[in-house]
Amino acid sequence: MKDKRGVIMGVANDASIAWAVAEVVHKEGARLAFTYPNEAIYKRVSSLRDSLQAECPIIKCDVSEPGDIQQAFSRIKEQWGEIDFVLHAIAFSDRHQLTGRYVDTTRDNFLKTLDISCYSLTEICKEVSAIMPNGGSILALTYLGANRVIPHYNVMGVAKAALESSVRYLAADLGPQNIRVNAISSGTIRTAASSGIGDFHYIMSWNKNNSPLRRNVLPAEVGKSALYMLSDLSSAVTGDVHYVDCGYNIIGMKAVDAPDLIIND
Ligand code: NAD
């Protein structure tokens, strides 16, 4: 990654998966820019950036604000001219609808969840493709709830299914420019976003007891796989969803495995 330049989107604090990826690719020599959606997160991103002891631009980008994505990448273009990779580690849904039944999802929250967690990748790819003249790698984060029913994951599972499908369409569109688009499907990790999911601690302990490796994935392990996806190590890989979850996806938790979950709370 020496002298490769990339944008990390989705650091909220030092528990964020995006931060684990940033640490790994920074260690391998990459130059990084970070984005933040609001002032509270800016403060945390800026003190984490200081800990890297490197010049890293920090740029405002609330992906739900019209014009923010365009402005962010035009600032990156002004500073760097071109870039080599982007990490999209962004998701949002009303936490009150990440518990109970999917059927109760409101139209407002459905649209907001899909907009922030899925459509943003499409708009980002469009902007990024203009500043990747030599090709590059774009990586998103997804979860098994895209293709199996995971208790409480609800509309976020629908958004991740759309995100994974977007990854394939975007890979087809941008492949001729040698821009690769992939996703990592991470196992469960305790973060600000995941703490909003109902009974998350139960799902984590289920994974620990039932995944083939009998444990949960560590953030740094997602970081190592992201290094592969974001670098030339994966130069022939595009449109892929790569599972980094201790084998959890081959088992797959079902609601029936968790009879003590309160699904209708
Ligand atoms: P996190 O809370 O640290 O990161 C989520 C990020 O999304 C935050 O930085 C937040 O600021 C950002 N975000 C939300 N709304 C935004 C907006 N409008 N504009 C810009 N940014 C916005 O949690 P995380 O678990 O590290 O999540 C990162 C990604 O990993 C998400 O896509 C999540 O779905 C995915 N993921 C997480 C897990 C897990 O168990 N933690 C498992 C699989 C996939």
Chain mean position to CA 217: 15
* pLDDT at 254 (0 to 100): 59
β-bridge partners, 103: none
Mutate to test the pocket of ligand 1, among 42, 92, 121, 217 (most ligand atoms within 8 A of CB): 92
pLDDT beyond 50 at 142: yes
Q: Which of 141, 239, 217, 132 has the alpha carbon at shortest distance from 184?
A: 141
Q: Is 124 exposed, middle or buried (0-12, 13-18, 19+ CB in 10 A)?
A: buried
The pTM assigned to this predicted structure is 0.96
102-117 confidence digits (pLDDT tens): 999 999 999 999 999 9
Q: What angle do CA 41, 122, 159 make, to 5 degrees?
A: 75
20-57 confidence digits (pLDDT tens): 999 999 999 999 999 999 999 999 999 999 999 889 99
Tell me which of 161 and 203 has the higher pLDDT.
161
pLDDT beyond 50 at 68: yes
**Catalytic residue IDs:** 143, 153
Atom of ligand 1 nearest to the CA of 186: 43
* pLDDT at 35 (0 to 100): 98
Can you state the angle between helices 68-80 and 120-129, rounded to 10 degrees? 30
Q: What share of the chain is helix, strand, coil (3-state, %, to 5)?
A: 50, 15, 35
Average pLDDT over residues 157-182: 98
